[in-house]
Chains A and B, each alone.
Chain A
Amino acid sequence: MKLSSKDLLGIKELTKDEITLILDTASGFKDVLKRDIKKVPALRGKTAVNLFFEPSTRTRTSFELAEKRLSLDVLNLSVTTSSVVKGESLIDTALNIQALGADFMVIRHSSSGAPHLISKHIDATVINGGDGINEHPTQALLDAFTIKEKIGRIEGLKIAIVGDILHSRVAKSNIYLLTKFGAEVRLIGPPTLVPKELEGLGVRIFHDMDSGLGGVNAVMVLRIQMERQGKGFFPSTLEYSKNWGLTSERLSMADKDAIVMHPGPMNRGLEVASDVADGPRSVILEQVTNGLAVRMAVMYLLAGVRE
């Protein structure tokens, strides 16, 4: 089986079978990462360019490492030192990079739809590393991988996503994936950040943390974005933290084996208490390790589409 599109733009565009293929392939690569020699020659001779228009620790280094493990030649374009600051358009930037021989472009951009725009104008493989408040598909894939690894399945699980859903591309991609696989997704947060329209995606909405967490198998905590303060979404981070911060007390409302997840970076003490983040139920660092395997799988499978 192959992926049907040359690009990975979002979870919305993937079928359940395609997602399963990626996760199964990722399992194989996770084994590779346990060996002494962590490199495979699969994509030798190909070139990947990481085009990150927004800051990133995990995603960019994760992609860079995944590309190197697959033996790709890797280039990182830092926007602040590129001609983008001179006003070069997004399409021009992409076309120029393709002209240099890029086979893969991993893009993170602050505008939703930026990877979609690029994919219409270039032949190289476009991978969405996070676009605006739209999607972050590889994050959802590694989250799904982590849940499957830890709990054994996704279907029928109760999974809570807590925080600023409205502005979270991580939340959106997870909502699309988890509902596709038949999980009960619960969104928890203040009404200003968890609008009622989201019910149209087949999720349940809670504004009360304790009732929302009742019996859940996994809690995904989202970062409170400081940029959102002062815009009327919530009065203060203190108030937010009191109502929706994940403390060990609140966690006890969940299933006794529930796992705690966070895409990073964390605001310790704000959306998640330090003892929870560092506690036995936290799988936060495993998510990062899994991310590497998942991204290798994505690139490997997309290369297969081009042939």
Chain B
Amino acid sequence: MKILIKNGHIIDPSQGIAGIGDVVIEDGKIIEIKMQDAGCRIQDKKKKNQASCIVHHESESKTIDATGLYVFPGLIDMHTHLREPGFEYKETIKTGTMAAVKGGFTTVCSMPNTNPVNDNSSVTDFIIRKAIQEGACTVYPIGAITKGQKGEELAEMGIMYSEGCVAFSDDGKPVMNSLIMRRALEYSRTFNVPIISHCEDISLSEGGVMNEGLLSLTLGLKGIPSEAEEIMIGRDIALAKLAKGRLHIAHVSTEGSVRIIRDAKERGINVTAETCPHYFSITEKAVEGYNTNAKVNPPLRTQKDANAIKQGLKDGTIDVIATDHAPHHRDEKLKEFDQSPSGISGLETALSLSLNLVHEGVLTMPQIVEKMTVNPAGILQLNKGALKTGSEADIVIVDAKKEFKVEADRFASKGKNTPFDGWILKGMPVMTICKDKVYE
């Protein structure tokens, strides 16, 4: 099966490609990229890959006219909750990966807070097999740092790594015990994989359901202060320095957090960070009226924090935009605010919300692509996130001008829990190609 994507605006930051060109795919692999203007490339510090300028004029089975559209490497989400095994009523690998490809993602990394927890090779193996059988895109499991995510004993990282885990995290929970976190950062050096930290000081955040401030007081909801996140980020960075491990900070939400990470990077500490679209698109005000679809952990913060997140993305403090896709069943979100589980179903709105940053002039298009392809691939050392000839054809075609209304009821994800329902967004993926499968 041959596919020709014609005349699209191709952006691949890993190779410094940015310009109009064609992509030729055969049997699920990119066989060549022909640029219209061979001199049309962005400055690249990395090694350049010379694109071939020859186009084979054989009978192609599918031609896609990408005039006026962007062509990116398929997006990579390094923070997704696929819920399977154990919480299939919220989402399955099948429905979660369908949501991913609808959102333009061709690779997702699934967090281990399943039931049973992914802290052993059997669950890792199950996830990988299920994904091959039923998944619409590639799934890389993230294994737990500690057994059962209890924060007490290290899980078998080596065995899970050889089975296919690409990183370790107790996400959903922090590793409260500093000694265990230190050991995790030290031990993981064996496999050169990152420890992804969910930074939350439970003693400060316990019982909290939204950002702490005047709004939480007037709603009568227990608040979570920014400091609950900042204290743990500071701690984890100090431990990363001590242990010389690779630390990646999940879902950064506050101004103070951005400042601490920026400072750590300046001091040369091996730390990377991600944020999620909701932290730069909305604030705690979305909770007004007790909207459980705006209940998320870490919570939505203030405009000041959102602005700092944008600045952090702009100056490189924050390396990645991930979704923290957290689907929940409709009935669970139709509960009293403090009884409702936290989480936003984000795969199908992430790219569009991120494109807002381009419309606002905060980031350029290649920078957005970087945050969602080459950077996560680099942190996880995946052979993905680029449009290299010979590599698997993971591609997304994006119409940056198309306006559409977010309709949660029509999400491919089982999780319809989004605070963006009804929003009009500009820019969306129109076609996602995963090796040999095409999704429109």
Contacts and interface: CB of A to CB of B under 8 A. Distances in A.
Interface in A171-203: 172, 195, 197-198, 200-201
A172 B220 contact: yes
Interface in B180-228: 213-214, 217-222
17 contacts: A89-B334, A91-B334, A111-B338, A112-B220, A112-B221, A112-B290, A113-B337, A117-B334, A117-B337, A132-B338, A133-B220, A166-B217, A172-B218, A172-B220, A197-B217, A198-B217, A201-B218
A90 B220 contact: no
Contacts of B219: 112-113, 134
A112 B334 contact: no
Interface in A69-91: 89-91
A60 interface: no
Interface string A109-120: 101111011000
A271 interface: no
A131 interface: yes
Given A117-B337, A132-B220, A132-B221, 15 more contacts: A12-B218, A89-B331, A90-B335, A90-B336, A91-B334, A111-B336, A112-B220, A112-B221, A112-B290, A112-B337, A113-B220, A113-B290, A113-B337, A117-B334, A133-B220
A158 interface: no
Interface string B329-365: 0010011111100000000000000000000000000
Q: Assign chain B's interface to a size class.
A: 10 to 19
Nearest to A166: B217
A116 B217 contact: no
Interface in B319-337: 331, 334-337
A195 B214 CA distance: 10
Given A89-B331, A116-B290, A117-B290, A195 B336 contact: no
A117 B336 contact: yes
Given A111-B336, A111-B337, A116 B220 contact: no
Given A89-B331, A197-B214, A134 B220 contact: yes
A41 B365 CA distance: 70
A198 B219 CA distance: 12
Interface string A147-180: 0000000000000000000100100100000000
B213 to A, nearest CB: 6
Nearest to B222: A133
Contacts of B334: 89, 91, 117
B39 interface: no
Contacts of A169: 220
B289 interface: yes
Interface of A: 12, 89-91, 109, 111-114, 116-117, 131-135, 166, 169, 172, 195, 197-198, 200-201
Nearest to B287: A113
Contacts of B336: 90, 109, 111, 113-114, 117
Contacts of B335: 89-90, 117
Nearest to A196: B214
Contacts of B222: 133
B288 to A, nearest CB: 10
Nearest to A109: B336
Contacts of A172: 217-218, 220
Given A131-B220, A133-B220, A134-B220, A112 B214 contact: no
Given A89-B334, A90-B335, A91-B334, A197 B220 contact: no
Given A112-B338, A113-B337, A195 B217 contact: yes
A89 B221 CA distance: 20
A220 B334 CA distance: 36
B413 to A, nearest CB: 23
Contacts of A198: 214, 217
B221 to A, nearest CB: 6
A117 B213 CA distance: 22
Contacts of B217: 166, 172, 195, 197-198, 201
A200 B215 CA distance: 10
A195 B335 CA distance: 28
Best-buried of A12, A91, A111 by chain B (most CB within 10 Å) = A111
Interface in B252-266: none
Contacts of A91: 334
Contacts of B339: 111
A155 to B, nearest CB: 23
A198 B217 CA distance: 8
A198 B220 CA distance: 12
B304 to A, nearest CB: 15
A108 B289 CA distance: 18
8 smallest CB-CB distances across A and B, nearest first, come from A134-B220, A113-B290, A111-B336, A112-B220, A200-B214, A133-B220, A113-B337, A197-B214
Nearest to B209: A112
Contacts of A197: 213-214, 217
A201 B19 CA distance: 54
